[in-house]
A and B are shown apart, each in its own frame.
Chain A
Amino acid sequence: AQTVTQSQPEMSVQEAETVTLSCTYDTSESDYYLFWYKQPPSRQMILVIRQEAYKQQNATENRFSVNFQKAAKSFSLKISDSQLGDAAMYFCASNTGNQFYFGTGTSLTVIP
């Protein structure tokens, strides 16, 4: 089974600044995918960004980018130019075939 660890229960960032959320995972699989999901207070979980493990290039989606370190099994999320709407719970998740495993989440506060 895979495990996903998010060691930062809470983070805060000043509006317009940059913040990095950490995630580590453990898997014995060679083929897997990694995701960051955002869950605002309304509780609708939405996908922020995805990374295929076989790709060396870090995924980027507008202000969101990842630092994928496969050997270290690390998958951090960087949010640039933070906005008030970025405030939410962020979950790191891994996927192998049919199974999804989620971390415990990081609560991000954006300070105006």
Chain B
Amino acid sequence: EAGVAQSPRYKIIEKRQSVAFWCNPISGHATLYWYQQILGQGPKLLIQFQNNGVVDDSQLPKDRFSAERLKGVDSTLKIQPAKLEDSAVYLCASSLARMGSLPYEQYFGPGTRLTVT
């Protein structure tokens, strides 16, 4: 079974530039998550999709961040314009939808390391 794919793996941009990250979840996984992981911290959820609908984007800085999952499969996360504090690893994860009382496991991609200079 192929894992969660992310690209690019690394990106360096200057502040005020734009950047986009791509994620392809595991086939059949309805739920997709984007996390921001700043160095030395745990992952922070930015946005969660269930199929192509947004379940939670309460921690997404909507003035500069946007995300979409148009066909309910792969997803893009965009930052426009970037700030220095956006330097972080952006993790994508996917999971099957929760069924009954069973917990569902998140499968993570390798992440995209963004450096804003």
Interface size on A, residues (CB 8 A): 24
Q: List 20 A-B contacts (CB under 8 A).
A: A6-B42, A33-B103, A43-B89, A44-B3, A44-B108, A44-B109, A44-B110, A45-B91, A45-B93, A45-B106, A47-B106, A52-B101, A91-B42, A91-B43, A93-B42, A98-B48, A98-B55, A99-B45, A100-B106, A102-B44
Count: A-B pairs, CB below 8 Å: 54
Residues of A within 8 A of B3 (CB): 44
B111 at interface (Cβ–Cβ under 8 A)?
yes
Closest chain A residue to B41, Cβ basis: A104
Residues of A within 8 A of B108 (CB): 37, 44-46
Residues of A within 8 A of B111 (CB): 43-44
Chain A facing B: main interface SS: strand
- Complex Cα spacing A44 to B93, Å: 10
Mask, A73-110, CB within 8 Å of B = 1, is 00000000000000000010101011110111100000
Closest chain B residue to A103, Cβ basis: B42
B: residues with CB less than 8 A from A are 3, 31, 33, 40-45, 48, 50, 55-56, 89, 91, 93, 98, 101, 103, 105-106, 108-111, 113
Residues of B within 8 A of A97 (CB): 98
- Complex Cα spacing A50 to B101, Å: 13
A62 at interface (Cβ–Cβ under 8 A)?
no
Closest chain B residue to A51, Cβ basis: B103
Closest chain A residue to B93, Cβ basis: A45
Q: When the two chains form their complex, are residues A99 and B56 in contact, meaning their CB atoms are under 8 A apart?
A: yes
Residues of B within 8 A of A42 (CB): 110
Closest chain A residue to B56, Cβ basis: A98
- Complex Cα spacing A45 to B89, Å: 12
- Complex Cα spacing A24 to B3, Å: 30
Q: When the two chains form their complex, are residues A100 and B89 in contact, meaning their CB atoms are under 8 A apart?
A: no
- Complex Cα spacing A46 to B108, Å: 7
* 6 smallest beta-carbon distances between A and B, as pairs: A102-B42, A45-B108, A33-B103, A43-B111, A102-B43, A104-B42
Beyond contacts A37-B108, A43-B89: 11 other A-B pairs, Cβ-Cβ < 8 A, are A4-B42, A35-B103, A43-B111, A44-B3, A44-B109, A44-B111, A50-B105, A95-B103, A98-B48, A98-B55, A104-B40
